[in-house]
Structure 1
Amino acid sequence: MSDRTKNIIVYSVMAVAIALFIYAVFVGNQQKQLEEESNHSSRKEQSEEVRSYDSLGDSAPNSQPKKSDLITEEHHEEVQIDIPEMDTLIPPEGQYADYFSKEAIEASRQAARNFVEKYYSFQGEEPLEHIENAKPYMTDDMYEELKNENPRPTAAVSYKEVETIDVYEPYEPTEEHLIWKVRVQGNVFDSGGNKTAEESMDYTLQMEEEEGSFKVQNYMLNVPY
Structure 2
Amino acid sequence: MKLDLTKKSHKMILFALLAIPTLIMGIIWTANNQDEATTKEEPKTEKTEGKESDTPDSSPSELELTEEQEQIESESIPGSEYIKEEDKAIAQEVAENFAQAYGNYDSEKPLEFIQNAKPYMSEVMAHEWDKNPPRRPLALVKSEVDSYEAYPIDTADKYTLMYNVVLQQKTVNSLEDKDIPLETSLIIALKKTFGEWKVEGVNVSNG
What's the TM-score once normalised by structure 2's chain length?
0.54
| Structure 1 residue aligned with 2:167 | 184
Deviation at 1:164, TM superposition (A): 1.1
Deviation at 1:194, TM superposition (A): 3.4
| Structure 2 residue aligned with 1:79 | none
Given that 1:173 and 1:179 are in contact with CA atoms closer than 8 Å, whether structure 2 keeps it comes out as no
The 5 Å alignment of 1:45-84 reads none
1:210 to 181, 188, 193: 193
| Structure 2 residue aligned with 1:101 | 84
Deviation at 1:122, TM superposition (A): 1.2
CA distance in 2, matches of 1:212, 1:180: 19
Given that 1:158 and 1:188 are in contact with CA atoms closer than 8 Å, whether structure 2 keeps it comes out as yes
The 5 Å alignment of 1:107-126 reads 107-126=90-109
| Structure 1 residue aligned with 2:180 | 197
Question: Which amino acid in the other structure matches residue 172 of structure 2?
Answer: F
Say how many residue pairs are matched.
129
Deviation at 1:131, TM superposition (A): 0.3
Task: Establish whether residue 127 from structure 1 lines up as the match of residue 129 from structure 2.
Answer: no
Given that 1:201 and 1:222 are in contact with CA atoms closer than 8 Å, whether structure 2 keeps it comes out as yes
TM-aligned CA distance change 1:204 to 1:170, over 3 Å = same
2:132 to 149, 165, 168: 149
Question: Which amino acid in the other structure matches residue 182 of structure 1?
Answer: V
| Structure 2 residue aligned with 1:164 | 147
Residue 186 of structure 2: SS of its match in structure 1? Answer: strand
| Structure 2 residue aligned with 1:31 | none
Instruction: Name whichever structure is richer in helix by fraction.
Output: 2
Task: Give the gaps of 5 or more residues in structure 1.
Answer: 1-93
Instruction: Name whichever structure is richer in strand by fraction.
Output: 2
Deviation at 1:133, TM superposition (A): 0.4
CA distance in 1, matches of 2:189, 2:182: 23
Question: Which amino acid in the other structure matches residue 137 of structure 1?
Answer: Y
| Structure 2 residue aligned with 1:13 | none
Question: Which amino acid in the other structure matches residue 183 of structure 1?
Answer: V
TM-aligned CA distance change 1:105 to 1:152, over 3 Å = closer
Q: Choose 211-220 or 172-181, whichever is displaced more.
A: 172-181
Deviation at 1:152, TM superposition (A): 6.8
Given that 1:179 and 1:205 are in contact with CA atoms closer than 8 Å, whether structure 2 keeps it comes out as yes
Given that 1:124 and 1:153 are in contact with CA atoms closer than 8 Å, whether structure 2 keeps it comes out as no
CA distance in 1, matches of 2:176, 2:105: 14
TM-aligned CA distance change 1:135 to 1:170, over 3 Å = same
Deviation at 1:147, TM superposition (A): 2.4
Query: Alignment RMSD, CA only?
Result: 2.8
Task: Establish whether residue 139 from structure 1 lines up as the match of residue 139 from structure 2.
Answer: no
Residue 141 of structure 1: SS of its match in structure 2? Answer: helix
